């Protein structure tokens, strides 16, 4: 809020109409952004990664009480960041597809925790190999 208060003060001092600035802020927060259409393979990869995220979140929540306090707080913060960024992406019309990059930060930590600390290594290795191949296929299709 501080930058907006400073800009409103600057508009007041310069004698400009703060309604224009208010309209721009309203458009940026609540206006519709341009739609982005995902290809079918990309949707399949996103669904697959969502399933992996669900598995890794359940795995984390099952063992979070056995972690140290600092690790526990960090993982709770990462979970909050992940779910809040997903909620903002799906429920605010002004948000564009670039928010996926913000969502990827906590998601990478949660996935890494699952793949590193899972007891049975064969299932996570199969899941990761499938994910890697799907991402490789998506990238290859974008190039060609």
Same domain for 19 and 55? no
Same domain for 25 and 45? no
In angstroms, rounded to a whole number, what is the distance separating the alpha carbons of residues 109 and 29? 29
Cα angle 71-73-75, degrees, rounded to a multiple of 5:
70
Instruction: Output the tens digit of pLDDT for each of the chain's 144 residues.
Output: 788 889 889 988 998 888 888 888 888 777 776 777 788 999 999 999 999 999 999 999 999 999 999 999 999 999 999 999 999 988 887 787 888 889 999 999 999 999 999 988 899 999 999 999 999 999 999 888
Q: What confidence score (pLDDT) does residue 27 get? A: 82
Same domain for 84 and 43? yes
Same domain for 24 and 72? no
Same domain for 106 and 42? yes
Same domain for 25 and 92? no
In angstroms, rounded to a whole number, what is the distance separating the alpha carbons of residues 107 and 113? 10
Same domain for 2 and 69? no
Same domain for 108 and 60? yes
Number of domains into which the chain is organized: 2
Q: What confidence score (pLDDT) does residue 77 get? A: 96
Same domain for 79 and 117? yes
Same domain for 17 and 61? no
Q: What confidence score (pLDDT) does residue 57 get? A: 95
Q: What confidence score (pLDDT) does residue 114 get? A: 94
Domain membership of residue 111 as a residue range:
34-143
CB 115 within 8 A of CB 128: yes
Secondary structure in 3-state letters for the chain: CHHHHHHHHHHHHHCCCHHHHHHHHHHHHHCCCCCCCCCHHHHHHHHHHHHHHHHHHHHHHHHHHHCCHHHHHHHHHHHHHHHHHHHHHHHCCCCCCCHHHHHHHHHHHHHHHHHHHCCCCHHHHHHHHHHHHHHHHHHHHHHC
Direct distance between the N- and C-terminal alpha carbons of the chain, in angstroms, rounded to an integer? 45
User: Max CA-CA distance within the chain?
Assistant: 68
């Amino acid at each position: 809020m501080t930058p907006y208060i400073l800009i409103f003060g600057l508009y007041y001092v310069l004698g400009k109409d703060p309604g224009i600035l208010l309209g721009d802020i309203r458009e940026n927060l609540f206006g519709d952004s341009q739609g982005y259409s995902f290809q079918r393979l990309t949707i399949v990869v996103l669904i697959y990664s969502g399933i992996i995220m669900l598995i890794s979140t359940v795995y984390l929540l099952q063992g979070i009480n056995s972690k140290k306090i600092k690790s526990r707080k960090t993982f709770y913060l990462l979970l909050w960041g992940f779910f809040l960024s997903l909620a903002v992406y799906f429920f605010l019309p002004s948000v564009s597809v670039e928010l996926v990059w913000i969502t990827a930060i906590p998601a990478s930590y949660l996935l890494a925790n699952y793949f590193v600390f899972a007891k049975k290594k064969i299932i996570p290795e199969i899941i990761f190999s499938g994910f890697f191949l799907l991402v490789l296929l998506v990238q290859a299709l974008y190039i060609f």
